[in-house]
Amino acid sequence: MSGGMASSFLMAPGGSLTGRLRVPGDKSISHRAIMLGALAEGQTRVSGFLEGEDSLATLAAFRAMGVRIEGPEGGNLLIEGLGLRGLKAPAGPLDLGNSGTSMRLLCGLLAGQGFAVTLVGDASLTRRPMRRVTAPLALMGARIATSPAGTAPLRIQAGARLQGIDYALPVASAQVKSSVLLAGLFAQGHTCVTEPAPTRDHTERMLAGFGYVVQRQGATVCLEGGGRLVGRALEVPADISSAAFVLVGASIAPGSDLTLEHVGMNPTRVGVINILRAMGADIQVLNPRDAGGEPVADLRVRAAPLRGIRIPEDQVPLAIDEFPALFIAAACAEGETLLTGAEELRVKESDRIQVMADGLAALGIANEPRPDGIRIQGGRPHAGRIDSQGDHRVAMAFAMAAPRASGPIEIRDCANVRTSFPGFTRLAGAAGLAIEEVES
């Protein structure tokens, strides 16, 4: 899956980002399209699907459980839904590669099936905390074994009779919320989840789009088990988390003027735009419209002088995947940027606070990591070598520093960029960055 050849990005300094482009489909929505399409009755046609390794891992898992899926071809898929009770036992463990979303959401979706199943992943995924999902699922009656450290492999036992629960999330996590709600589809009675702060709501929106009744009251979402989902056509918008790299690159590269097409603008995902604008970025939202229950727009971004800010904590869950990119914006801003309340960054595909801090230091950018964030002193990155630690978003973030760097930047361990942004080097090159990918 993500264990292909190691590769590095070689970035020459300078360049600007111009033109019009569309980044690949939203990863969160792509995962959910497969999951809900598989559980629906009838066919689901998907366009704009992300053909990245993470969402393809979800697709392969459902094929292994007997779901017929045609494609993907040019982002198009046809899923033959099996209904809520139609999944079959896979022949072996489901390998979810690098994908935390696949593992956590599937854990909930599979907790109440009539068959046993084991979920495994790569080295990074096997380090990530899973008790945050297995604990509430156990409260519902699921029997799931983890490693002693609370990590994968996850061994889900067959035949658990799930009961709905009323669960207050201890961390603001859409993955945990979604895992519990997906288990709730198979539970007796009501399942309710209350979140401490708003997190992405694609699961709730998409369930409603498939005709499932979901009720929201304030911070609480509820559904009742045993309903039905009806197949539909579904259009996946471009991923704002992938667009984020380009928004940062174009903001800091002098002379940039670029338009990103059809970007998902779900209000639970737009923290990166709010934060960049607060730093002085010039981002225009054009032609806002609806794409099957998700708001989308085109984004025009032009280079602008950025200034450091104190990032409001209420924006953290709304920009949780965009901090590697935002740290590069901070590194090229005037003055200091302070991030707090973001300890979750330490348990992403890598420890994103430490890995970014090390990379920024390698480029001569003064910074001070903290348990829950970082302080970054803006300046001019110099030449250097970065170890991305196999984290796709760290690799792409540092690629965006090149236009402002005083010398070449080498970024190592970039193969996992394919998990979320296939075609990144081609697209970044076409937009104006001098990027070369070499096998190493």
Interface of this chain with ligand S3P, residues 326 to 345, rule: CB under 6 A: 344
Among 8, 16, 47, 101, binds ligand S3P (CB under 6 A): 101
d(CA 80, CA 78): 7
Our CB check for ligand S3P shows the closer of 15 and 108 to be 108
Write down the least CB distance from residue 367 to ligand S3P, Å: 22
CB of 18 to ligand S3P, least distance (A): 29
DSSP state of 392: H
Residue, CB closest to ligand S3P: 28
DSSP secondary structure letters along 346-370 = GGSSS-HHHHHHHHHHHTT--EEEE
Under rule CB under 6 A, how many of the chain's residues touch ligand S3P? 11
Which one among 7, 175, 251, 256 touches ligand S3P, defined by CB under 6 A? 175
Please choose, out of 1-9, 87-95, 174-182, 368-376, the segment that lies near ligand S3P by the rule CB under 6 A.
Answer: 174-182
Which residue in 173, 266, 419, 425 binds ligand S3P (CB under 6 A)?
A: 173
- For ligand S3P, the binding residue among 94, 109, 200, 229 (CB under 6 A) is 200
Asked if 7 touches ligand S3P (CB under 6 A), the answer is no
Nearer to ligand S3P, 28 or 251 (CB): 28
Nearer to ligand S3P by Cβ, of 325 and 435: the residue is: 325
Closest distance of CB 218 from ligand S3P, Å: 19
CA angle 435, 122, 2 (to 5 degrees): 30
Nearest approach, Cβ of residue 48 and ligand S3P (Å):
16
Contact 341, 373 (CB under 8 A): yes
Q: Of 168-176, 217-225, 294-302, 350-358, which segment contacts ligand S3P by CB under 6 A? A: 168-176
Among 321, 322, 391, 413, binds ligand S3P (CB under 6 A): 321
Q: Does the protein bind ligand S3P through residue 28 (CB under 6 A)?
A: yes
How many other CB atoms sit within 10 Å of the CB of residue 275? 25
The helix (H) or strand (E) run that includes residue 145 is strand 144-145
Query: What's the Cα-to-Cα distance from 70 to each of 73, 87, 114, 302, 421, rounded to whole Å?
Result: 8, 17, 26, 40, 22
Whichever of 200 and 404 has its CB closer to ligand S3P, that residue is 200
| Binding-residue pattern over the window 54 to 83 for ligand S3P, x denoting contact by CB under 6 A | ------------------------------
Phi–psi pair at 190, nearest 5 degrees: -85, 140
Bridge partners, residue 216, by sequence: 221
Q: Give the residue from 417, 393, 229 showing the smallest Cα distance to 326.
A: 393
Can you spell out the DSSP letters for 96-127?
Answer: -TT-HHHHHHHHHHHTTSSS-EEEE--HHHHH
Quote the tokens at residue 395. Answer: 């690799």
Select the residue interacting with ligand S3P from 178, 259, 315, 367 (CB under 6 A): 178
Q: Judged by CB, which is closer to ligand S3P: 178, or 315?
A: 178
Distance CA 109, CA 112 (A): 7
- 117-120 and 94-95: which strand pairing? parallel
Q: Which stretch binds ligand S3P (CB under 6 A): 60-68, 86-94, 170-178, 407-415?
A: 170-178
Specify the stretch interacting with ligand S3P by CB under 6 A; choose among 40-48, 167-175, 218-226, 370-378: 167-175
Structure tokens at 150: 């609370």
Residue with tokens 């961390």: 171
Q: Which residues contact 391 (CB under 8 A, 6 or more apart)?
A: 124, 324, 348, 349, 350, 352, 355, 416
Report the candidate in 135, 292, 274 with the shortest Cα–Cα distance to residue 198.
Answer: 274
- Give me the least distance between CB of 200 and ligand S3P, in Å please: 6
DSSP per residue, 221-258: EEEETT---B--EEEPPBPHHHHHHHHHHHHHSTT-EE
Is 321 labeled as catalytic in the residue annotation? Answer: yes
The reply on whether position 375 binds ligand S3P by CB under 6 A is no
User: Which is the catalytic residue, given 26, 321, 387, 391?
Assistant: 321
Binding part of the chain for ligand S3P, among 85-93, 171-179, 226-234, 394-402 by CB under 6 A, reads: 171-179
Find the shortest distance in angstroms from Cβ 226 to ligand S3P: 24
Active site residues: 321
Q: Tell me which residues touch ligand S3P (CB under 6 A).
A: 28, 101, 173-175, 178, 199-200, 320-321, 344
